[in-house]
């Protein structure tokens, strides 16, 4: 079997930085179990599979494709950085002629468009509802111990638990917090939670001036201990913080990358060019 596969580093213009994703171009239908086998072999947080929707389509001139994402252990309904990586491969390596690409996914249609030397990606917003502390107390104790919590929300659309840490903490505390993900699968095995978002309100001054919120994301339930830059978590974060702050334009930051948000949809903008590493005859 010969499949063109690229490794693209999203959110960076330099090799071996940012958040890597594998991108596989499918000329023909692939057996279902083969998707997972390839993703397991690539062993990255996500492997994206781009497929033609019709036999007459081609990757250079068509503008609409199917897109699926797999971690090393399971398929996921949405992955932001692997979608950016997919668009980047089509735009910059395959030389797709279109200015906008549409991806048909489990989360609906996603659009990626050229924006000068960047790629802009529109993602949906997902609401998060108040979550009773006692229902997730064991999960939180396992993950963050006695760390003070300000708010807890749950997003049923994404199966993500959003945990806002106390406003008394600063960015440095969040970045250096030791999070125990090793036992989370045993503590939460109901299938309700597939991702844990830790977030913190931005500070008005000092080293953190200019950011509305900070976050880290953990998903051991799908084989990703910590995802350094994740677009899917920000579909929940942007909705939550927009309500909390009363803002439609925000700046958020992970440990590796800053996001710009323009609601009513969540837009990833100002994404630098990516680096690519084609793998032959995989």
Are 86 and 177 members of one domain? no
Are 272 and 253 members of one domain? no
pLDDT of residue 251: 83
Number of domains in the chain: 2
Percent of the chain with pLDDT over 90: 68
pLDDT tens sequence across 83-101 = 999 999 999 899 999 999 9
Tokens 């104790």 correspond to what residue? 141
Are 116 and 133 members of one domain? no
What's the average model confidence in pLDDT over 182-189?
95
pLDDT tens sequence across 23-70 = 999 998 899 999 999 999 999 999 999 999 999 999 999 999 999 999
pLDDT of residue 219: 96
Contact (CB, 8 A) for 109 and 102: yes
Are 101 and 200 members of one domain? no
Q: Is 203 a catalytic residue?
A: no
Are 245 and 141 members of one domain? yes
- From the candidates 46, 109, 137, 226, which is the catalytic residue? 46
Are 58 and 120 members of one domain? yes
pLDDT tens sequence across 239-277 = 999 999 998 888 888 876 665 555 544 555 434 433 344
90: tokens are: 């089509």
Backbone angles phi, psi at 216, to 5 degrees: -135, 155
pLDDT of residue 204: 61
Question: CA-CA distances (angstroms) from residue 40 to 45, 58, 70?
Answer: 10, 27, 9
pLDDT at 279 > cutoff 60 = no
Q: What is the CATH number of the domain that holds 40?
A: 3.10.310.10
Are 119 and 145 members of one domain? no
Contact (CB, 8 A) for 23 and 59: no
Are 94 and 177 members of one domain? no
Are 138 and 247 members of one domain? yes
pLDDT at 148 > cutoff 90 = yes
Among 126-135, 155-164, 208-217, 252-261, the minimum mean pLDDT is found in 252-261
Are 107 and 213 members of one domain? no
List the Cα angle 217/43/175 in 5-degree steps: 25
The residue range of the domain holding 225 is: 129-263
Are 60 and 176 members of one domain? no
């Amino acid at each position: 079997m010969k499949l063109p596969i690229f490794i693209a580093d999203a959110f960076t213009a330099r090799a071996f930085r940012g958040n890597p994703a594998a991108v596989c171009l499918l000329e023909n239908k692939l057996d279902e179990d083969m998707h997972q086998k390839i993703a397991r072999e690539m062993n990255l947080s996500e492997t994206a599979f781009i497929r033609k929707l019709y036999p007459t389509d081609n990757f250079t001139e068509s503008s609409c494709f199917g897109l699926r994402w797999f971690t090393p252990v399971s398929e996921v309904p949405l992955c932001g950085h692997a979608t950016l990586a997919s668009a980047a491969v089509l735009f910059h390596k395959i030389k797709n002629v279109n200015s906008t690409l549409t991806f048909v996914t489990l989360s609906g249609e996603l659009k990626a468009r050229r924006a000068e030397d960047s790629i802009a990606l529109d993602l949906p917003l997902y609401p998060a509802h108040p979550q009773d502390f006692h229902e997730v107390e064991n999960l939180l104790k396992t993950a963050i111990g006695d760390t003070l919590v300000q708010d807890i929300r749950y997003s049923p659309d994404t199966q993500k638990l959003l945990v806002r840490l106390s406003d008394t903490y600063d960015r440095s505390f969040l970045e250096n917090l030791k999070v125990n993900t090793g036992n989370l699968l045993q503590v939460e095995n109901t299938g309700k939670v597939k991702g844990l978002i830790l977030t913190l309100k931005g500070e008005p001054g000092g080293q953190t001036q200019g950011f509305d919120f900070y976050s880290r994301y953990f998903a051991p339930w799908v084989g990703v201990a910590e995802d350094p830059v994740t677009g899917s978590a920000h579909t929940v974060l942007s909705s939550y913080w927009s309500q909390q702050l009363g803002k439609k334009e925000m700046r958020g930051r992970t440990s590796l990358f800053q996001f710009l948000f323009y609601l009513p949809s969540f837009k990833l903008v100002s994404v630098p060019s990516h680096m690519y590493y084609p793998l032959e005859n995989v």
